Chain A
Amino acid sequence: MTSWRKPNNRKYQGLIGLLVLLTVIGAFIVISYTLQTNDVTLTEPPEKLLVFDFFTLSYSWQAPPLFAVIAAIATGLIVVVTFVGLELGDANLSRRSHDAIHKKLSPWVLMESTQGVFNGEVTLTALIPAHNEEALIGATIRSLMEQDRKPDRVIVVADNCSDRTVAVAKSLGVEVFESFKNLDKKAGALNQALEKLLPSMGENDTVMIMDADTVLRQGFLASAIKHFTDDRGLSAIGGLFFGEDRPGLIAQIQKNEYTRYSREINRRKGRVFVLTGTASIFRARALRTVAEERENLLPGVKGQVYDTHALTEDNELTLALKSLGALMMSPPECMVETELMPSLRTLWRQRLRWERGAMENIATYGITSTTARYWSQQLGLAYSVFALWTYFLLIVLQIVSSDTWVWYPFWILMGAVFIAEKVWTVRNAGWKARLLSSTLVIELLYDTFLGIVFAKGTIDMAFGRQANWGDEQKHNPPRHSSKQHHAAKHRLNKHQTLEREAKE
């Protein structure tokens, strides 16, 4: 890895769009050429079936030729294998690296420096950044204190609070760090706290950063500490999030999404995409190294753990750690309940911020072996959007130009495959999850919604539009006080239920 240079975002801004455009043009050329040479026709006259004497059903056994099906499946699999290969290649590079200059956090480098020395038991300091969170902070602190393995220290990082956050935290007996003249919101407040905290921390000291509206599932801390104890080479553990118990369709859609995400991480044996800002634990040395390498191997300001310019600072920190060769994982026991967006409008803002943040981060890092997987993910997303929208376009064109409605058993079978997949991947998440998935249409519409978010994010980025919308939402959620109170109570109840479940 070469030394990090000033960000040249513009260079990469249009790249994803360009690649997708080339793929699409390529597909059109291949298909037109095939049609010209093979004279494949897709429009055979449909057959008629008379049902109950008065209802005529038109159907057609038409299906793509076998060679096309095989070629399509092969293309899909080759793309997936390439994407996975890119990621595994980078992971193996870090795992085996002894390069103490560029891969300062690779497991071997960490292990060689602590070989044969006992640096004390693993300790855990929890940092909770909070901006006017008086209603929720109590439940969060209690959820930490009720863990089987309690944190050694809990520090609430109060950032420009004008409510009783500090008083509530102190009344529960935890430490409070108040940010000083901080203009960089959550990331800035955490930077100030970490700057004071990290220098005195040893090899086996860890720091957990968790949001003030988050509840950990029982066993989270015990499992994380066991992993850090068993593996000197491990740099970070990320929580696997699941949705809070909120009623409604929009909440259920998000819950399904998180269920699938967790399933995917478990299938990847805990290999992390993003160390969530909701609750993640870092070896102090890993955070110190990131702060030292900013302006050298990493973007940002030297001495600061978080890059305050990043819209999604947790995603940026993940990239920073990965670039330095850090080993990180999400064990299945480390689960955390996360807030769900209550409306389409808030969901839109949240997702736009995530999408824009992710793209800005990979644009800042450029194309490296670490970011290759993230670039390919964006490319895959872009192609999915194209595929879904052409699918809808075709259906609309067919409806407005066809004289009769024709049923195609082959395509009904394809639909059944999609439904089976959607239902199977949320089968353990309750009947509501399965019911929602079985309709397919709702989740297809949601995919369309995410597609629009993606397109908007890409276009905004390509035209260099400012991106501070949604940011305010994140750091200073405009909540009504009675609603806040209700939410706090709800979370507390939820937490007690979870704990009961864990005990049983």
Chain B
Amino acid sequence: MNYLDLFQGLLLPESFMQSRFFVILATLVALNTVIYAALSIVHVIPKWFKPSWMRGHRPRGVTRSIYPDGPK
């Protein structure tokens, strides 16, 4: 016997797990878990930034530098 089983089924009958409330709750938690797991994967994927040569160099009309003759 699994020692974890000692603590099982103490308060509610096993049939509770077939109840409509439990099944809906379990489904909701399951879907939430999948959503958050997907977001976790998004967090781990390295972020890809376009290298400058792919962005295309569009010279600005004016310089952003504080020096009026700074690079455009």
Contact = CB atoms under 8 A, between A and B. Distances in A.
A230 B64 contact: yes
Interface string B3-41: 011011111111011101011111111111111111111
Contacts, number: 156
A42 interface: yes
A25 to B, nearest CB: 11
Contacts of A231: 64-65
Contacts of B49: 269
B33 A414 contact: yes
A52 B28 CA distance: 36
Contacts of A420: 40, 44
B2 A64 contact: no
B54 interface: no
B15 to A, nearest CB: 8
A403 B9 contact: yes
B58 interface: no
Interface string B36-72: 1111111110010100000000000010111110100
A119 B12 contact: no
A115 B2 contact: no
Interface stretch (A213-221, A364-372, A388-396, A454-462): A388-396
Contacts of B1: 56
Nearest to B25: A394
B27 A76 contact: no
A72 B38 contact: yes
A229 B65 CA distance: 6
A239 interface: no
B23 A405 contact: no
Contact of A405 (B5, B11, B24, B38): B5
B37 A111 contact: no
A418 B2 contact: no
Contacts of A117: 68
A402 B17 contact: yes
What is the predominant secondary structure among interface residues of chain A facing chain B? helix
A387 B2 contact: no
B62 to A, nearest CB: 6
B35 A75 contact: yes
B42 A80 contact: yes
Nearest to A24: B28
A390 B65 contact: no
Interface in A48-84: 55-58, 64, 68-69, 71-73, 75-77, 80
Given A400-B9, A414-B37, A31 B14 contact: no
Contact of A401 (B11, B20, B31, B67): B11
Interface in A378-398: 384, 387, 390-391, 393-394, 397-398
Contacts of B66: 114, 118-119, 121-122, 203-204, 228-229, 232
B40 A72 contact: no
A399 interface: yes
Nearest to A405: B4
Given A68-B31, A233-B64, A397 B43 contact: no
Contact of B32 (A57, A119, A387, A400): A387
Nearest to A260: B43
B65 A40 contact: no
Contacts of B12: 397, 400-401
A413 to B, nearest CB: 9
A32, A57, A107 — most chain B CB neighbours (10 Å): A32
A224 B31 CA distance: 44
Contacts of B44: 420-421, 424-425
B31 A72 contact: yes
Contact of A403 (B8, B27, B67): B8
B61 to A, nearest CB: 10
Nearest to A400: B11
Contacts of B68: 115-118
A196 interface: no
A119 B67 CA distance: 8
B62 A43 contact: no
Interface of B: 1-2, 4-5, 7-14, 16-18, 20, 22-44, 47, 49, 62, 64-68, 70
8 contacts: A43-B18, A64-B30, A390-B29, A390-B32, A401-B12, A414-B33, A414-B37, A421-B40
Given A118-B66, A402-B8, A405-B2, 14 more contacts: A31-B31, A42-B23, A43-B17, A58-B2, A64-B34, A71-B31, A73-B35, A230-B64, A231-B64, A232-B65, A387-B36, A397-B12, A402-B9, A421-B40
